[in-house]
Amino acid sequence: MKILALDTSTELCSVALWNDGPASERGALVGQGHSEHLFPMIAAVLAEAGAGFGHLDAIAFGAGPGSFTGLRIACGVAQGIGFAAGLPLLPIGTLAALAHGTPGAAIVAALDARMGEIYLGTYRRRGQDVEETLAPGVWHPQHLPDLPPGRHVGVGSGFAAYAEDFVMRYGVAIESTSPASLPHARDVAALAAVRLPVTGGMPAQVAGPLYVRDKVAMTVAERKALKR
C-alpha cells in the first residue's frame, strides 16, 4: 500500500510517503512559502522510492484545522493529483495527526489559532489509530472546554502560546506537554494507512478542508480590544 501524504496546515511544510510502512519524508519550516517548497518535496520522496503517481493507492492530506491558506494548498494539490491519477483522497485531521505522533493513551492536541484563540481536540489511542473524545473546536484561552475524565498528555503550539491558561484551567489533569510540536505528514500517512482499508477514501471532488472557524481575520476594533 503506497500513500502520499501532505501537510501545510502550519508554518511546517511536510510530505511523506507510506510504502507498506514509513518510507520517506521531508519537512521544513517555511513560513508562508508552502507553494514554493511542496512540489520539490513531493518529487523528492517519490524519487527516493522510485515511484510515480501511477504507483500510488491514495493521497492523504492534513485537512485542518490550521492556516486557512495552508489548508487550501494541501487540499488543492491533493485534489489535483487525485483527479489526474484517479486516486482516492483521505482528509486527516491535523489535531489527530498531532495526537498520533505523541506518546500516551489520552492526548490533548492544541494549535495556536492566532486572533487570541486555540484549536483544541482530545483523542484516545486505539491500536494504530486515534479516536476523537472531544471534536476539534476553536476556544478562547480563558474559556477552554472540559476534558474527558483521566490524565492527558498535551501536544502542540497552543501550549506554547497559552501555557499559563492551560495550567490555570487544567492543573495536573495534563501531565506533560510537547509545545514545540506541529502536525507532520508522516502521521497523516500513518493514520491514512490504517483508515484506507476501512473507508476506501473518497473521490477527489468531495474532499475538503476542515476549517473549524469561519473567520479569517479580526476587525480593527477587535485587534485593539485584544491588545488591551
Q: What is the pLDDT of residues 47-77, one digit of tens each?
A: 999 999 999 999 999 999 999 999 999 999 9
Query: Are the folds of 2-93+183-199 and 95-178 the same?
Result: yes
- One DSSP character per residue, 56-119 reads -SEEEEEEESS-HHHHHHHHHHHHHHHHHHT--EEEEEHHHHHHHTS-SSEEEEEEE-STT-EE
Q: Which CATH class is domain 95-178?
A: alpha beta
Q: Which amino acid, one-letter code, is at 48?
A: E
Domain ranges (residues) in the chain: 2-93+183-199, 95-178
* Residue 43, pLDDT above cutoff 50: yes
How sure is the predictor about 228, in pLDDT bands with cuts at 50, 70 and 90?
low
Q: What is the pLDDT of residues 166-188, one digit of tens each?
A: 999 999 999 999 999 999 999 99
Q: What is the pLDDT of residues 106-154, one digit of tens each?
A: 999 999 999 999 999 999 999 999 999 999 999 999 999 999 999 999 9
Report percent pLDDT > 90 for the chain: 93
Sign of CA pseudo-dihedral 69, 75, 77, 83:
negative
Report percent pLDDT > 70 for the chain: 93
CATH of 2-93+183-199, one of 3.30.420.40, 3.40.50.2000, 1.10.10.60, 3.30.470.20: 3.30.420.40
- pLDDT at res. 221: 46
- pLDDT at res. 71: 98
Indicate the pTM of the whole model. 0.93
CA atoms of 7 and 13, how far apart (whole Å):
6
CA atoms of 93 and 10, how far apart (whole Å):
13
* Mean predicted confidence (pLDDT) in 6-15: 98
Cβ count within 10 A of residue 100: 26
CA atoms of 75 and 89, how far apart (whole Å):
9
